[in-house]
Each structure stands twice: as C-alpha cells, then as structure tokens.
Amino acid sequence: MDGFLASPIGILAITVAQTLALLVPVLIAVAYLTLAERKVLAAMQLRRGPNVVGPFGLLQPFADALKMLMKETIVPSGANRFLFILAPILLFMLAMIAWAVIPVQDGWAIADINVGILYLFAVSSLGVYGVIIAGWASNSKYAFLGALRSAAQMVSYEVSIGFVIVTVLLCVGSLNLTDVVRAQERVWFFIPLFPMFIIFFISALAETNRAPFDLPEGESELVAGFFVEYSSMSFALFFLGEYANMILMSALTTILFLGGWHPPMHVEPFIWVPGFVWFALKIALLLFVFIWVRATFPRYRYDQLMRLGWKVFLPFSLVWLVLTAAVLKLAGWLPA
C-alpha cells in the first residue's frame, strides 16, 4: 500500500481525493451562501426570504440550479463565440484553483508551496480577465461599459491589497500561508494591524465586485453590467464564481488577520473544537459582514470609488507599511 501511494499514480490519486475533499464542501458552501444571502437580506429588510422549497427554504439553491440548467443558452449574434463561452468558465475556474494553497488546518493545504500568498494574489488578480473578456465578447454596449469599469476598479484596489499583504508578510517573515497562520498563534494580526484589516476587507469588497462597489454590474445604469447577455449555465457560472470568490477572499482575510485555524484562546473548551471548524466559523463571520454591508450601504459613485482607492487607501497603506517596518526594525521584532 505504501509503495502504491509513493508511486506517481498513487500521488495523483491522493491529490485528486484531497481536491475533492476540499472542493465539494466549498461548492456546497457556495450553494448555501446564495441562500444565506437571501435569508440575511430578508431578515434585515423585515421579510421572510425563501421559505417554500424544503424546510426553511433549505432546498432553494438546488431548485435554482435545476432551473438554470433547464434554460436555453443564448449566444448573441455578434458575439465572439469562443471567448463568450470561455469567460464564465475562466472566472469559475480561477475561483476554484485558488483553494489549492489554502491551509484549512495545520498541514492540510493541498499544495503547501513557498510562495502561497503570491499565488493567491496572482490568481485573484486574474479574475478581472473573466470580466473583461465577457464584456468584450458579448458585443454589447452595457456589457462593455461594465467590463471597463471592472478593469479599472480591480486594478486600483489590487495595489492597496498588495501593500496590506506586504505589511503582514513583514510581521511573518515568510511567503508560506501555513507560516502566516503559525505566526498568529499568540496574537491575531487584526489587533496590531487593525487599520490594514479594515482596508483589506474593503478592498476585498471592491475586488469581488460586491456592494457597495458593484459598479461593473450596476443594474440601475448598466442593466446587469458585464453579464447582461449571459443566460442559463454560463450565467450560473458567473454567479457561482462571484460567490466562490467571496468565500475565497474571506478565507484569505481569515488567514492574514484572523488567525486561520487557531481558536480564540488556547484554553480548555476552545481547543476541543478542531481547527478547520474555527477556520470555517471565521469565514462564515466575514461572509455575514459581506452581506450585512450589501444590505446597509448604497452603491458608490464611480469617481468616488476611484478616489477611495487611489487617494485614500493607497497613501494610507503605504504610510502604514513604512510605519510597521520602522517599528519592527527599531523594536527588534523583525522575524529572522
């Protein structure tokens, strides 16, 4: 048995099993996040939300998925067929492959690579291609405008996300995500780096095109933005990709600032709970905030969005980065 597991085919089989063990719960989480969003929004707006399909509406996501599958896929006549189909697949695929490096518990990452954080940053910065290609290939004004907005928005907010990540890395001394979480055993980074935590979370909202930064799909002016022309399964892939990205950004925030799999305190009742449960609970908390923000804030105007990214977050995160570096150096806390 050990001989088989060490052979190339055995390694492949283990990796496939690990991938399924991670992605199936993620996909179920995506399905139930759509339900959770509708339920939470409904509660905040004094409504009931979906409550007909199954007990408490628990089967609603599956009903939605079936309905999506039954619809006809429509490709607009002037569209670039190949790219039109490619865009949603790309967006969904990127949201999935990023999970390869996420350490759900100590040593549970599928690929515990040295440059894990850079890999995540690279994958999240590629998400913009799905949006741009969709907008261009649709051959529609609204879709194209949405794509242009999205390109500008995602590139602007990536810069401050980069600085926030560098600040965290200064405190860790490694680009490995497992090391980032291990460094937070005693104190989670959101306490010493609180302003960066806020900036990172707001940038994550902008990066995932969520309210109040959902300008690329702003329905009041662009109908539905970059995915106006999509229907059926291709629309469903966009939808799932957006929610998978939300979960991914929450996972990244958890790893960088909320101590990953660590319990709040290393004392009796907390350490009985396994690490991946803490990880999931923290992600759920952040996802709740995502939905809460959507229910609370009106959409930003486009120039305000750009101003916030370039004139507020970028200088602030740069100053905080220099400050952190100076404090670490002068106090002698720099990790070896």
- Residues forming contacts to another protein in the complex (CB under 8 A) are 8, 46, 83, 113-115, 118-119, 121-122, 125-126, 128-129, 132-133, 136, 144, 147-148, 151-152, 154-155, 158, 175, 303-304, 307
Closest CA to 317 of 202, 155, 146, 150: 202
Pick 156 or 253: Cβ nearer another protein: 156
- Rounded Cα distance between 227 and 146, Å, is 8
Pick 137 or 258: Cβ nearer another protein: 137
Distance of CA 254 to the CA centre of its chain: 11
Pick 64 or 158: Cβ nearer another protein: 158
Pick 281 or 328: Cβ nearer another protein: 328
Pick 145 or 236: Cβ nearer another protein: 145
Distance of CA 323 to the CA centre of its chain: 28
Pick 11 or 271: Cβ nearer another protein: 11
Pick 75 or 115: Cβ nearer another protein: 115
**3-state SS of the chain?**
CHHHHHCHHHHHHHHHHHHHHHHHHHHHHHHHHHHHHHHHHHHHCCCCCCCCCCHHHCCHHHHHHHHHHHCCCCCCCCCCHHHHHHHHHHHHHHHHHHHHHCCCCCCCCCCCCCCHHHHHHHHHHHHHHHHHHHHHHCCCHHHHHHHHHHHHHHHHHHHHHHHHHHHHHHHHCCCCHHHHHHCCCCCCCCCCCHHHHHHHHHHHHHHCCCCCCCHHHCHHHHCCHHHCCCCHHHHHHHHHHHHHHHHHHHHHHHHHHCCCCCCCCCCHHHHCCCHHHHHHHHHHHHHHHHHHHHHHCCCCCHHHHHHHHHHHHHHHHHHHHHHHHHHHHHHCCCCC
Q: How far is the CB of 28 from another protein (least distance, A)?
A: 30
Q: How far is the CB of 60 from another protein (least distance, A)?
A: 25
Q: How far is the CB of 239 from another protein (least distance, A)?
A: 23
Dihedral of CA 81/82/83/85: which sign? positive
Q: How far is the CB of 121 from another protein (least distance, A)?
A: 6
Q: How far is the CB of 195 from another protein (least distance, A)?
A: 19
- Rounded Cα distance between 54 and 144, Å, is 39
Pick 132 or 286: Cβ nearer another protein: 132
Q: How far is the CB of 44 from another protein (least distance, A)?
A: 9
Q: How far is the CB of 90 from another protein (least distance, A)?
A: 11
Pick 113 or 327: Cβ nearer another protein: 113
Q: How far is the CB of 234 from another protein (least distance, A)?
A: 18
Q: How far is the CB of 270 from another protein (least distance, A)?
A: 33
